[in-house]
Structure 1
Amino acid sequence: MDTEAQHTERGSSSEPITGDGEGSRSARSPRPSWPRRLLRRPGTGALAAACVVFLFLLSTFVVQPFLIPSGSMEPTLRVGDRVLVNKLAYRFGAEPRREDMVVFDGTGSFVDEAPRGNPVTGLLRAAGAALGLSEPAETDFVKRVVGVGGDRVVCCDGRGRLSVNGTPVDEPYLMPGDAPSNAPFDVVVPRGTLWVMGDHRSRSSDSRDHLGSPGGGMVPVGKVIGRVDWIGWPFGRWTSFDPSGAFADVPEPGAAHG
């Protein structure tokens, strides 16, 4: 049996005929998918590279996505949330305020020094973190500002509340069931530094855990990367953050001490 002849006959009879008598090109060689067609267009590679550069610059100087890697800020921030960090919030003379959620470099306060590793791997990881695609560096942390320079922060009073400059503070953002702190403390925050804590106090390693460290648990204002202003992903959790007014009645340090 001449199978080659059968295949030839079957192929020719099943191909659609175009107006010029030739078989359809799509039947013999499928058209490339739209991403490939797009990439083949002149200038597409340069446009893609420009978009990547633009996103990287935007992330470096204006707004950076930040992947939340732990539950220390629950219920406000959950594991896997991608928040948008406003890097312009503290430019031009502005400084962090009580209740702000901040991302900061904990080198010298929460960790001794940045861990060393493969420079290429580190560069790739940094690029991924800058775009919110991978976990942040091990030296980057997100916490809530509870005390600013000059504040006296004490926990806890007779009703189990934290107080700042002698004024009790009710913290609505705390994880339900959590106490403001299970460990008592009484600190005065040095000028130019911050006292920071997580919202899930029982699961947060924060300023309380570094009282005995060289920095005393205080985060230098200059180490703050930016303020968490929005949850950008997942879309179902998209939200912006406004102050709750928890610290509205707290007097300034000079008024409290003098």
Structure 2
Amino acid sequence: MDTEAQHTERDLPSTPQPGPERGSRSARFPALAALLEGPWRKAAALFAVCLVFLLLLSHFVLQPFLIPSGSMEPTLKVGDRVLVNKLAYRFGSHPARGDVVVFDGRGSFTDEAPEGNPVGRAVRSAVAALGLTEPAGNVYVKRVVGVGGDRIVCCDKGGRVRVNGTPVTEEYVHPGDAPSQVPFDIVVPDGTLFVLGDHRSRSSDSRDHLGSPGGGMVPVDHVVGRVDWIGWPFGRWSGIGGSGAFARVPAPGGAHG
């Protein structure tokens, strides 16, 4: 009898115990759990916070910008990473002659067009905002040569651009380049800018779009910001100031000659 009772007791179903397959993910993947709960978790969180901070800084204050072409040589070279001051024109200031600016060329340099896949655009925008890739094809960097109301004529007998009747000696123009091979005589509409590249023979700028919609003039509200510094490579680390070439140019309406 005792033997039969013992046999019956052993055959009773036991209470199922949770095995590794029924436990938590930590039990199934102990190595992964250790990573997520260890120093890597803190590092990942810190990286995410830094990334968000950099994106916010880039969007509102100071954006890195990769120079994709030689149109601004010798001031800016291909591969330079410059820092664009987005606050330069936010508090009542306006772009001035001689400033190097980054702007959205849609409607002046390029036709307005759909921007494609929004997810891909957002990713590219975020990467470009960190200066890790070239900006979108509608973003340009040029130097302001004329502001609203200016009359700009090229070229005088000395081969110089005249702004409001005053000849301008543009010391920043690429050695060997003429101020322009294309003659023009234009008045810049209010609220817009006339911009040129420093490497005039290799720059597609306002001169090339005089007959386009918008006349090649860049609306002031399309300006992203002012290029104030070269941040990379370290050997070219320097500030980009305005040019004194326009110091003697009178205000619009005060032209002479």
* Shared fold per TM-score greater than 0.5: yes
- 2:160 corresponds in structure 1 to 161
- State the one-letter code of the partner of 1:83: V
1:219 maps to a residue whose letter is V
Offset at residue 219 of structure 1 (A): 0.3
Aligned match of 1:172: 171
Instruction: Please name the residue that 1:92 is paired with.
Output: 91
**Distance in 1 of aligned mates of 2:248 and 2:256:** 15
Letter in 1 for 2:230: I
1:103 and 2:102 matched? yes
In 1: Cα distance, 2:113 partner to 2:84 partner: 21
> Which residue of the partner structure matches residue 151 of structure 2?
152
Q: What are the superposed Cα offsets for residues 89-147 of structure 1, whole Å, 9 maximum, x if unpaired?
A: 00111100000000000010000124533332222111110000000011100000000
Partner in structure 2 of residue 213 of structure 1: 212
Equivalent position SS for 1:143: strand
Match of 2:57 in 1: 58
The one-letter amino acid of 2:183's match is: P
Q: What is the identity, as a one-letter code, of the residue corresponding to 1:224?
A: V
Match of 2:15 in 1: none
Question: Which residue number corresponds to residue 13 of structure 1?
Answer: none
Is the 1:114–1:139 contact (alpha carbons within 8 Å) kept by the matching residues of 2?
A: no
Distance in 2 between residues matched to 1:218 and 1:40, nearest whole Å: 54
Within 5 Å, which residues of 2 pair with 1:1-258?
40-114=39-113, 116-256=115-255
**Structure 1 residue 242, shift from structure 2 partner:** 2.1
Task: Give the Cα–Cα distance (whole angstroms) in 1 for the partners of residues 119 and 221 of structure 2.
Answer: 27
Distance 2:75 2:145 in 1: 15
Aligned counterparts of 2:42 and 2:127: Cα–Cα separation in 1: 25
Measured in 1, the distance between the counterparts of 2:216 and 2:238 equals 30
1:162-216 superposed Cα distances (whole Å, 9 cap, x missing partner)? 0100000000000000000001000000110000000000010000010111101
Total equivalences in the alignment: 223
**Structure 1 residue 42: Cα displacement:** 4.5
Identical aligned pairs, as a percentage? 73
Deviation, structure 1 residue 243:
2.8
Which 5+ residue runs of structure 1 have no aligned equivalent? 1-35
Kept after mapping to 1: 8 A contact 2:102/2:225 = yes
Structure label with greater radius of gyration: 2
Aligned to 1:246, what secondary structure does the other structure show?
A: helix
Query: How far apart in 2 are the matches of 1:124 and 1:253?
Result: 43
Q: Is the 8 A contact 2:99 2:241 kept in 1?
A: no
**TM-score normalised by the chain length of structure 2:** 0.83
TM-score, structure 1 length as denominator? 0.83
Gaps of 5+ in 2: 1-34
